[in-house]
Amino acid sequence: MISTTSSRIALDDHSLGHLLYGLMLAFPLFLLPPILGLVINCSQKSHKMSQLLYSHIRWQRWSIVTMLSLLVLAYIVSQTWLAITLVVLSLFWFCHRTIKGWMALVDGQPI
C-alpha cells in the first residue's frame, strides 16, 4: 500500500544555492552567468524551499540586481574616472557579497 501526502515539503537541497553562487562568481564572462543566475533565481518558488535556502536566494537576487544597477549607472556617467571607480567598487562589492554568502551557505547559516 502506497501512501501519499499532500502537505508541502520544503526543499532542503542546497545544490541550487551552490550553482547560483558559482554562476555569480563567473561574472567576468560578459556578465552572462549572473544574468542567467538571476533568471533561474527569479523562477524559484519561495514556498518550496527551506528558510535557509530562501535567505540565500534572496541575498543572491539583490546582489545581482544591485551590481547590474551600479554598472548601468557607471555606463551612464559621463566622467571616465567616476565610471571606472563605480565599476571597480561595484565588482569588488559583488565579489565580497558572493563569497560571504557562499561561505555562509557552506556553514549552513542563513544570510
Domain residue spans of the chain: 15-23+30-107
**CA dist 20 to 3, 33, 70, 73, Å?**
34, 9, 20, 24
pLDDT at residue 2 is higher than 80: no
67 near 91, Cβ under 8 Å? yes
pTM (two decimals)? 0.82
For the chain, give the percent of residues with pLDDT over 90.
Answer: 60
102 near 63, Cβ under 8 Å? no
Please compute, for residue 63, the number of CA atoms within 13 A of its CA located in the half-sphere on the CB side.
28
4 near 46, Cβ under 8 Å? no
- How do residues 8-59 score in pLDDT, each as one tens digit? 555 567 888 999 999 998 888 888 999 999 999 999 887 788 899 999 999 9
